[in-house]
A and B are shown apart, each in its own frame.
Chain A
């Protein structure tokens, strides 16, 4: 498996009412091509900040992140723009991530409109038409053509998250970062969204960074798992080794709660 992304000793601090808070402390990780890496932790563990650093939405104060061997720090302007094509994101709250005033097909097409030169293989025959491309993307996430002209408020939470996923995969990214993608959904819908993500990840061969507080969900779809606490990585293991003898005490607590 070729390495896609590597972070070395990255740290990030925030000012919280005048006090410095280390959100991410000396974190190193790597993600292989087509690999699904899970990041588990509770709120305040720094997992979402880590996601934002890997999306290059923020820059680490220390350490270095490389994508396919190229350091984030060297990227400006056009190069940064083309990085965004390869790293896309799905956030927790689809209501906030979709424009309420646009029919969903326009939201779905936004990334492709930003990269007119990109034609993903699954859109090869329809890329000339924006509506046809959007329809194809909606079908890929289990929605249909009839949803094209709906507005976000006319869809259920699960359907909105499917739209956000359609947008996330539209550029055929090499890495999809999912930050708590199922946390605001009903249990039965959560399972469907997890299955959909796993299916797309396998089918498109993209790598996935799956950030969640739900260790059972992470176990279900990830190959490898990182556990974060207070901004640090405290445990790292292959998914199937989750019950292993060498698990960190904190991981065991999370596992016990998920039984």
Chain B
């Protein structure tokens, strides 16, 4: 029994009620699956005039198929830049200066732009916070989806339409109606689900979701994340879930990487981060947003000393 408890692999697999069996954290699982994505010491620098400043420094993490890794940080932490580097969509002033981006076993960082572009939107799917920007305003959703599909797959327009409709249906939208709609005719939640349908239709190996629900209402956001989880289970793709909200991702992710000032300060399995966060910054993020039951249980004290500290911090925050 003791031996079992000490062996994370076995005890991990024994957790019943978990719908997904997850590859154990970090390198222990490398024998079983090839990671979809592995960042190895990724460093991104920004050039402003003559000044060169690092904005992501030595970032490393691994995502396996079917796994959701959440990359959490506040504004300016470098999490979106990391996503941009993986997608090959960095603005011209930013450059990957060191490290590897290993996608399905191959380092894609040195690839030429053209080759990267085929990958991005195809094998590497993405949705962003700004769902308005996911579609061109004056072209119907369906037409845009067909265009996306046919630029990556050799399908007839008719076949592509069938695939698009099926995909819209899978995200719980009235497929025919949405297919014939302009983006402005849909609500924010519907648009974000249509964006998911549009990117998942190409069966990416990994989905990068950058703050996908931040611009949405709480309940609308929950529905979008439910759809994202379901698609992940159905297709077995990996998800890189980028968010500023640690509480939110604790409910959704298998592992969590916390970013601050361009560096990953802590990376671990979700349970470990939730219950035994080691880094003071992670602890602070958890404390900043207690769950309702923690508030209810009175675990959050209105500490006067703490307030004074908070006020003082305000001077530099």
CB A212 to nearest CB in B, in angstroms, measures 10
CB A67 to nearest CB in B, in angstroms, measures 29
Q: Does chain A have a CB within 8 A of B33?
A: no
Cβ B288 vs Cβ A213 within 8 A: no
Binary per-residue interface labels of chain B (284-313) against chain A in the complex, 1 for a CB within 8 Å, 0 otherwise: 110111111101100010100011001111
Interface of B is mostly: helix
CB A86 to nearest CB in B, in angstroms, measures 26
**A213 to chain B: which residues have CB within 8 Å?**
217-218
Binary per-residue interface labels of chain A (144-159) against chain B in the complex, 1 for a CB within 8 Å, 0 otherwise: 1001000000001011
Roughly how many angstroms separate A191 CA and B289 CA in the complex, as a whole number?
7
Cβ A187 vs Cβ B245 within 8 A: yes
Roughly how many angstroms separate A203 CA and B282 CA in the complex, as a whole number?
31
Cβ A188 vs Cβ B284 within 8 A: yes
Cβ B310 vs Cβ A43 within 8 A: no
Roughly how many angstroms separate A188 CA and B309 CA in the complex, as a whole number?
13
**B287 to chain A: which residues have CB within 8 Å?**
191
CB B114 to nearest CB in A, in angstroms, measures 37
* B246 interface neighbour in A187, A216, A253, Cβ under 8 Å: A187
Of residues 1 through 50 on chain A, the ones whose CB sits less than 8 Å from some CB of chain B are 42-43
Cβ B300 vs Cβ A220 within 8 A: yes
**B312 to chain A: which residues have CB within 8 Å?**
142
Contact stretch, chosen from A94-102, A120-128, A194-202: A194-202
Roughly how many angstroms separate A226 CA and B203 CA in the complex, as a whole number?
44
Interface of A is mostly: helix
Binary per-residue interface labels of chain A (230-253) against chain B in the complex, 1 for a CB within 8 Å, 0 otherwise: 000000000010110000000001
Q: How large is the interface on B (under 10, 10 to 19, 20 to 34, 35 or more residues)?
A: 20 to 34
**A192 to chain B: which residues have CB within 8 Å?**
310-311, 313-314, 317
Roughly how many angstroms separate A220 CA and B292 CA in the complex, as a whole number?
8
Q: A186-B74, A195-B306 are in contact. Are A220 and B314 (CB under 8 A)?
A: no
Cβ B218 vs Cβ A191 within 8 A: no
**B302 to chain A: which residues have CB within 8 Å?**
195, 198
**B74 to chain A: which residues have CB within 8 Å?**
186-188
Roughly how many angstroms separate A30 CA and B105 CA in the complex, as a whole number?
63
**B314 to chain A: which residues have CB within 8 Å?**
141-143, 158-159, 162, 192, 196
The closest CB in chain B to the CB of A202 belongs to B302
Binary per-residue interface labels of chain A (171-214) against chain B in the complex, 1 for a CB within 8 Å, 0 otherwise: 00000000000000011111110011011000000000000011
The closest CB in chain B to the CB of A255 belongs to B292
Roughly how many angstroms separate A5 CA and B293 CA in the complex, as a whole number?
31
**A42 to chain B: which residues have CB within 8 Å?**
217-220
**B185 to chain A: which residues have CB within 8 Å?**
none
Roughly how many angstroms separate A186 CA and B245 CA in the complex, as a whole number?
9
Of residues 180 through 206 on chain B, the ones whose CB sits less than 8 Å from some CB of chain A are none
Q: Does chain A have a CB within 8 A of B315?
A: yes
**A254 to chain B: which residues have CB within 8 Å?**
218-219
The closest CB in chain A to the CB of B298 belongs to A240
**B244 to chain A: which residues have CB within 8 Å?**
186-187
Roughly how many angstroms separate A159 CA and B218 CA in the complex, as a whole number?
26
**B317 to chain A: which residues have CB within 8 Å?**
156, 158-159, 188-189, 192
Roughly how many angstroms separate A141 CA and B312 CA in the complex, as a whole number?
9
Among B284, B306, B307, which residue has the most Cβ atoms of chain A within 10 A? B307
* B290 interface neighbour in A158, A216, A253, Cβ under 8 Å: A216
Q: A143-B315, A189-B317 are in contact. Are A259 and B291 (CB under 8 A)?
A: yes
Roughly how many angstroms separate A88 CA and B244 CA in the complex, as a whole number?
31
Residues of B at under 8 Å CB distance from A? 74-75, 217-222, 244-246, 251, 284-285, 287-293, 295-296, 300, 302, 306-307, 310-315, 317
Residues of A at under 8 Å CB distance from B? 42-43, 141-144, 147, 156, 158-159, 162, 186-192, 195-196, 198-199, 213-216, 219-220, 240, 242-243, 253-255, 257-259
In the assembled complex, 30 residue pairs joining A and B whose CB atoms fall closer than 8 Å, in A order, are A141-B314, A142-B314, A147-B315, A158-B314, A158-B317, A159-B317, A162-B314, A186-B74, A186-B75, A187-B245, A187-B285, A187-B289, A188-B285, A188-B288, A191-B288, A191-B310, A192-B313, A192-B314, A192-B317, A195-B307, A196-B307, A196-B310, A199-B307, A216-B290, A219-B292, A219-B295, A220-B290, A257-B219, A257-B221, A258-B292
Q: Give 5 nearest A-B pairs by CB, closest first.
A: A142-B311, A142-B314, A191-B288, A42-B217, A186-B74
